[in-house]
Structure 1
Amino acid sequence: MTTTQFQIRKNQLDSTRVVTLPDAPLADGEVRVRVEQFAYTANNITYAAFGESMNYWQFFPVSDDEKSVWGIVPVWGFGVVEASRCIGVAVGERLYGYWPMASHAVLQPVRVSPESFLDGASHRAALHTIYNQYLRCAADPLHDPATEALQALLRPLFLTAWLIDDFLADNHFFGTCEGGQRGVMPLSSASSKTAFATAAQLARRPEVEVVGLTSAANVAFCESLGVYRRVLTYDQLDTLAQDTPCVYVDFAGNGELRKNIHTRFERLAYSCSIGGTHVDQLSGARDLPGPRPVLFFAPAQAKKRHGDWGATGFNERMARAWHGFIEQVSQPAAPWVKVQEHHGPGAVQAAHILVLGGRADPRLGHVLSLQDI
C-alpha cells in the first residue's frame, strides 16, 4: 500500500511535485482514510500564502528533511475509513473534514462521539479544534449525499463567511451605521466564493450596503448573484464618496488596492483582512492611513459564539443559515456554482495552477481527487 501526496514549494507556490510513499502499519488507535474528494478554491491558496504565519503547513507536515521547503495544503472534503485499529470507528465509515492533498490520511481519533471525533496526533495538539474535528456523515445534520460536491466547496467557506457577518454585526459594524446612516461594506475579490457567501449574509441586513469590488471580467457574474447592492471594478473606487462611512472586508490581500482604500476613505472605521486571492500582489500593512488592517481568524469568533450560545445554539443557527444559503446557490434557473471534477495527479496539478493564477471561471467549483478514475 502507498500514499500519493501533492506537495507545494512553500516560497514558490506554482512549483509542485507528486510524491508516493509506502504506508507504515497502523498503530493502535489509528485509522487510515482514503481521501475521496476535496474542494480547491482561492481559500486554499490563502492557506498556502499564509502557511507559515497561520500554521497551515503544520497540519500535514512532510518528512523532516523536506518540511522547510515543501508543504501540503489542507483541503476540505470527504473520505472513507479504509483500515481501522480504533475502537468505535469502523471500516467503511464516511467522514467530512480537513484533509491533506493526498490519496490517504492517517488519523488518531480521540474524543470519539456518535457525531464526530478529533485527530489526536501530537503535531496537531496546539492547532484549533475547528480544523481537527472530523464529522461522521451518518450523524451530520448538514450532510446530504446528493450535494457532497457543493458541501466540499462551500461549507468551510460559508462557515467563515457566516462568522465574518456575525463578527461585524457583533461589533455594530464599527459605528458606521450610527445615527440612521447606512454603513458601506466594500468586499474585494467579490467573485470569490468566500466573498459572495459573506455578501449573501450581509445582504440580509438593511443597515448596510454591500459593494462588490472585482475585475472587469467578473462584473456580470457578481451582478447576477443579486447579493451586492453595487458592483464596481477596482478602478471605480472614486464613484464612492470620500466621506463614506465604511468597513473594508479584504479577500484579495492586494497591497495596492488596500492602500487605495485606506487613502481614499476618510471614515474607514475598520479594515478586515480575510485572505490572499491576489497572491502575486500580497503586501504588508505598514504605513497606511486609517485603521491598521486586522486579520480575521474565524475560529476565534466561533469560540466566542460557542461561549455565548452554547454548542447546540451555535450549530442550530449555523445550520439554518447554511440551508438558506444552499437554497440560494442551487436555484435551478441560475445556479451560482457549477461543479467540475478533476481526477489524478495531472488533473490536480492543472487545477492548482488555474486557481493559483486567478483565471478560473468564478462560477466553476473545482472538486479534486488524487485517485485516478
Structure 2
Amino acid sequence: MSTTTLQVRQDQLATTRLLTTEDTALADGQIRVQVAQFALTANNITYAAMGDMLNYWQFFPTGEAGWGIVPVWGFATVVQSLHPAVAVGERLYGYWPMASHAVLSPQRVSPSGFSDGAAHRAGLHAVYNHYLRSGADAFYRPETEDVQALLRPLFITSWLVDDFLADQQFFGAKRMLLSSASSKTAYGTAFQLAQREGIEVIGLTSPGNVAFCESLGCYDRVATYDALDQIDGAAPSVYIDFAGSVGLRQRILVHFTGLAYSCAVGASHVQDLGGAGQLPGPRPVMFFAPAQVKKRNGEWGAQGLNDRLVAAWTQFSATIQAPPQPWLVVQHHVGPEATQALFRQMLQGGGDPRIGHITTLQTN
C-alpha cells in the first residue's frame, strides 16, 4: 500500500508537489485510515498562511525543512488496525493531512472517539487531536457528510466567535463589522449574531459578492470595501476580521474611530497579510477558538457545550440547504492532480462563494 500526499512550500504557498511513498508497517496500537474526503476552504488557506504562528505545520510534519502539509477537516475509514478498541471499517471525523492515508496512535479511547497519541502532537491543542466515531456522533448524518466537512469546523468557530463576543457584552458596541462577508466562517458568525437582539450586523465584501451576501438574509447591511466612508465611523463597533488584509485593517482602524474591539479570525486575503504596525485604535487580537472551548467546557461541561453546538448546527445546516436558493452547492474534485489544482485556485481567492469544494486524493 502507498500514500500520496500534497505538500506545500511553507514560504511560497503556490509551490506544491505530490509525493507518493510506500507505507511502512504499523506499530502495535496504531491504525491506518483512508482519508475518504475532505473540505478545502479559505479556512485551510488561513492554516497555511498562519502555519508558523499557530503551529499548524506541526500536525503532519513532512520531515523535510521548508515543506509542509496543510491540515483539513473531513472523514476517513479505518483500513488497518493494530489497536484492540478500534475496528477496521469504522468511519471517523477529524483533522487529517492532505493525503490519501494517515496513521494515528489512538489513546484515551472512548465510545465517542479518541485522541492521537503521536509524540509530535503531544503539545498541540486537544481540539485538533481528537477524532470522533461517526456511529456515536450527535452531529453525524451519512447523507450530509459533504456539508459537515465543509461547514462544521467553520461553524463551530463562528459559534464560538459569537459566544465570545456575547460573553464580553460585545465590548459595549451594538454594531458588528465582518470582513470577507461571503466566506463561510463569516456568514456562520453573522447567522448567529443576527439572532442577538439589538445587534446590527454589517457585512464588508468585494463588489462581486454583494448580491450573494444580501441573499443570505443574515446581514442587516452589506457594504463594499471601497464604500466604508458611507458608514458612520463614530458609533461604537467591533471589527471581526476574516480577511487578514493589513490594508483593509488600516482603513477600518482609521475610519471607525468608535471601534471598541478588533477581533482577528481569518486570513483569506493571503496576498495582503501583515502586522498591526503603528495603527490607531484597538490592537487586533487573534481569536483562538480552542481557548473559548476550554472556558465553556469548564463552565458548562463538555456535554453542555456539545448540546448547545448540536442545536445551533441543526438550525444552521437546515437553513443553508433550504430551497429555493441554498447558501451552499457542493462541487467534488477527485484525485491528486485535481486536489493540487484546487489548492492553487483557492490561494487566488475569488470564485463563487456559493460553491463548497470537497476533494479526495483517492482515485477510485
- TM-score normalised per structure 2: 0.99
Query: 2:24 maps to which residue?
Result: 24
Where does residue 102 of structure 2 map in the other structure? 105
Q: Distance in 2 between matches of 1:23 and 1:350?
A: 25
Partner of 1:34: 34
Determine the C-alpha separation between the residues in 2 that align with 1:357 and 1:338.
20
1:199 aligns with 2:190: yes
Alpha-carbon distance in 2 for matches of 1:116, 1:8:
30
Provide the residue aligned with 2:238 in structure 1.
Answer: 247
Aligned to 1:360: 351
Q: CA deviation at 1:75?
A: 0.1
1:370 is matched with 361
Residue 148 of structure 2: aligned partner = 151
How far did residue 360 of structure 1 move? Answer: 2.0
Q: Secondary structure at the match of 2:358?
A: strand
Deviations 1:174-221, CA, capped at 9 Å, x for gaps: 011xxxxxx111100000000000000000012211100000000000
1:139 maps onto 2:148 in alignment: no
AA partner of residue 288 (structure 1): L
Q: Letter of the aligned partner of 2:141 in structure 1?
A: D
Structure 1 runs (4+) deviating above 6 angstroms are none
2:205 to 214, 229, 236: 214
Match of 2:254 in 1: 263
Report how far residue 349 of structure 1 moved.
Answer: 1.3
What CA distance in whole angstroms lies between the structure 2 residues aligned with 1:265 and 1:332?
37
Greater Cα offset, 27-36 or 347-356: 347-356
In the alignment, what sits opposite 1:58?
58
**Cα drift, residue 286 of structure 1:** 1.7
Match of 1:234 among 215, 225, 235: 225
SS of structure 2 residue aligned to 1:201: helix
Mapped partners of 1:273, 1:359: distance in 2: 20
> Which amino acid counterpart does residue 218 of structure 2 have in structure 1?
V
Matched, 1:338 2:335: no
SS at match of 2:99: coil
What amino acid is the match of 1:39?
A
SS at match of 2:158: helix
Aligned-partner Cα distance in 1 for 2:196–2:164 = 13
How far apart are residue 37 of structure 1 and its match? 0.0
Counterpart in the other structure of 2:312: 321
Match of 1:92, SS? coil
CA shift at 1:239, angstroms? 1.0
Structure 1, residues 23-82: CA drift from partner, whole Å, max 9, x if none?
A: 11000000000000000000000000000010000000002xx1x211000000000000
Instruction: Please say if 1:122 is aligned against 2:119.
Output: yes
Report the 3-state secondary structure (helix = DSSP H, G, I; strand = E; otherwise coil) of the residue aligned with 2:25. coil
- Name the structure 1 match of 2:83: 86
Amino acid at match of 2:9: R
Residue 242 of structure 1, CA deviation: 2.0
Q: Distance in 2 between matches of 1:314 and 1:205?
A: 19
Cross-structure match for 1:180: none
Give the structure 2 partner of residue 179 of structure 1.
Answer: none
1:107-144 CA distance string (max 9 Å, x none): 00000000010000010011111100000000101100
Note the aligned Cα RMSD (angstroms).
0.6
Which residues of structure 1 form unaligned runs of 5+?
177-182
Secondary structure of residue in 2 paired with 1:210: strand
Secondary structure class of the residue paired with 2:203:
strand
Distance in structure 2 (CA, Å) of the matches to 1:290 and 1:207? 24
Aligned residue type for 1:258: R
Q: What TM-score does the superposition give when structure 1 sets the normalisation length? A: 0.97
* 1:6 maps onto 2:3 in alignment: no
Partner amino acid for 1:109? P
Give a deviation string over 1:88-111, Cα, whole Å, max 9, x none: 100000000000000000000000
Q: Deviations over 1:232-269 (max 9, x none)?
A: 00011011112111000000001111001101111100
Select 1:309's aligned residue among 294, 300, 303.
Answer: 300
- C-alpha separation between the residues in 1 aligned to 2:198 and 2:101? 47
Amino acid at match of 2:295: K
Q: CA deviation at 1:359?
A: 2.4
- The reply to whether residue 282 of structure 1 matches residue 273 of structure 2 is yes
State the secondary structure of the residue aligned to 2:140.
coil
Q: Partner of 1:37: helix, strand, or coil?
A: strand
Provide the rounded CA distance (Å) in 1 between the counterparts of 2:115 and 2:312.
25
- Which is further off, 294-303 or 351-360? 351-360
Count of residues in Structure 1 that have an aligned counterpart in Structure 2 = 364
Q: Distance in 1 between matches of 2:257 and 2:326?
A: 38
Matches of 1:261 and 1:141 in 2, distance apart? Answer: 40
The aligned amino acid for 2:320 is V
Task: Tell me what 1:76 maps to.
Answer: 73
Identity among equivalent positions (%) equals: 60
Runs of 5+ unmatched residues, structure 2: none
